[in-house]
Structure 1
Amino acid sequence: MPFSIGDLFWIFFILMALLPAIRQYRLEAVRVRLIQSLEKKRGTRLITLIHRQESLSILGIPISRYINVEDSEAVLRAIRLTPDDMPIDLVLHTPGGLVLAAEQIARALQKHKAKVTVFVPHYAMSGGTMIALAADEIVMDENAVLGPVDPQLGELPAASILETVQLKGRERVDDRTLILADIAGKAMTQVADFIYRLLVEKMPPEKAREITELLTSGRFTHDYPLTCEQLTAMGLPVCGELPAEIYALMDLYPQPPQRRPSVQYIPLPYSREPGRNGQ
């Protein structure tokens, strides 16, 4: 039966609409194979908590991600399915998210009886740092960073709200600000208590209190990058060498394509030996 131009148009439209879903399915399959390979190599359960923009919908609309309750439910389910004597590897790449979800994940990792290793290839800020602190070992790329875990009330740092009330005086601020200050004080106490409980099992109480104060008191801005050198100076055992498979896995979580790439390079390792690299 001959096809009309209209029929060909609709076939083309349907294929173009399904193409992103097909690409996503193939990408998921490659990820699973790489995860299984790394699990077999290390003898662990590998969990990924990676938040980037991906073209997930049929129409290819980018969706921003952060730690939420769905993430905590999925991670807790993966931990529950892991035998007590099997180590867990967690690949962490996130700007942070809900305190509730991050605390649930951190608490579950802390309770796991076998060794827990967190890999940070690029960054794990805020709630991501909270999760990393629950691990027995944090392995970071030499240029990767963690961040402070001081609580935020909406877009406002809890520490700054308290500082504002202290500077102006309680009698010179409105009721809403006083209520925010009360909530901010409780939030800072709760987060500090939780971080201290994570750290005190790994180090002396005095050192745990010192690191807790640095991370939760609002001494730094919330997006301040804490490098390997700074974290080591604080007394946190971080850094090390990430397996090559972790970097390969990150390549399988791409940002949505752009018309003009903001970063471009030839994706091959170079040698400085004469005559190599086509020179």
Structure 2
Amino acid sequence: RPEFALYALRRAQAIRAIEKEHGTRVITMIHRQEKRSLFGFAVPQHIDLEDAQTVIAAIKETPDDIPIDFIIHTPGGLVLAAMQIARAVEAHPAKVTVYVPVYAMSGGTLIALAADEIILGEFSVLGPIDPQILGFPAASIVRARDAKPVAEVCDFTLVLADVSEKAVAQVKEGAVELLTPRLEQAKAETIAEKLAGGHWTHDYALTAGEASALGLPVKVGMPLQLMEF
């Protein structure tokens, strides 16, 4: 569609301008409903394995001495794909700065944990990284199981709780892995517990102030040209 082609052209021009100004490689992961449609209905986009393949390739193609500006706009997605991308971010030798013009929820926040610096706008938000099982918060499934004697809990709930415990533990371990290059182990574990332990609803908007108070390397000051991404 013509309007999308024009938007893509403007974005490409903005990327080239940012790379020239910052001396960086710009990589984007932007999920918008209008990007794809099915029979006229918007199809929501999320972090998936295709994103992982594309972003990892872009990171690996970037010379070791070139910093990366990684622009993220996403509601989240697959933990597997998010962790793959985050590990690639962590492995890049030069500085990686994650820019969040509006929001990087769930898996988007998980990726941001691997960055050397996170730049947010005045009203940009991150979010909890607690895993979801069949649409329910994993931590809440575990709490529901533990609220009753085991004999009163159905087998299906017991199975879900078992999977949920593993999912929460895995995400916490992943977060600690991403944070420990820059933070002490104890501090990383505290942040991982807060973000993955089910302390908020999954759509909780984590502000720059809250993220900074947790100990994340957050700064407020989004370049105006990035707000159009």
In structure 2, the residue matched to 1:112 is 92
User: d(CA) in 2 for partners of 1:26 and 1:233?
Assistant: 40
**TM-score, normalised with respect to structure 2:** 0.95
Q: Deviations over 1:25-65 (max 9, x none)?
A: 33322221211111111111101111111154597542211
Secondary structure of 1:66's match? coil
**TM alignment of 1:67-216, pairs within 5 A:** 67-216=47-196
1:142 and 1:239 in contact (8 A); partners too: no
How many correspondences in the alignment? Answer: 229
Please report how far the alpha carbon of residue 212 of structure 1 lies from its aligned counterpart in structure 2 after TM superposition: 1.1
Kindly indicate whether the alpha-carbon contact (under 8 Å) linking 2:119 and 2:221 is maintained by their aligned counterparts in 1. yes
C-alpha deviation, 1:125, in angstroms: 0.7
Does 95-104 or 201-210 show the bigger shift?
Answer: 201-210
1:121–1:158: structure 2 CA closer, same or farther, 3 Å change rule? same
Q: Which residue of 1 aligns with 2:220?
A: 240
Which whole-Å CA distance do the structure 2 matches of 1:195 and 1:55 have between them?
A: 30
**Pair 1:227-2:207 in alignment:** yes
AA paired with 2:142? L
What are the Cα deviations for residues 13-32 of structure 1, in whole angstroms up to 9, with x where unaligned? xxxxxxx2x33333322221
CA contact (8 A) 1:24 1:56 kept: no
Is this contact kept in 1: 2:70–2:99, CA < 8 A? yes
Larger Rg: 1
Aligned 8 A contact 1:106 1:132 in 2: yes
Which whole-Å deviations, capped at 9, do the CAs of 1:148-168 have from their partners, x for residues lacking one?
A: 111110211110111011001
Q: One-letter code of the match for 2:83?
A: E
Alignment CA distance shift 1:152-1:58 (3 Å): closer
Please, which of 12, 19, 24 is the counterpart of residue 4 of structure 2?
A: 24
Deviation above 6 Å: which 4+ runs of structure 1? none
1:77-120 alpha-carbon deviations (Å, 9 max, x no partner): 11111111111111111110010110010010000000000001
Q: TM-score, normalised by structure 1?
A: 0.78
Q: Which residue of 1 aligns with 2:42?
A: 62
Provide structure 2 residue ranges, at least 5 long, that are not aligned to the other structure: none
- Find the aligned partners of 1:117 and 1:42 in 2 and give their Cα distance: 11
Structure 1 runs not aligned, ≥5 long:
1-19, 251-279
For residue 46 of structure 1, what is the aligned residue in structure 2? 26
Per-residue CA shift, 1:154-195, capped at 9, x if unaligned?
A: 211110111011001221111111111111111111110010
Q: CA RMSD in A?
A: 1.5
2: CA distance, partners of 1:218 / 1:179: 19
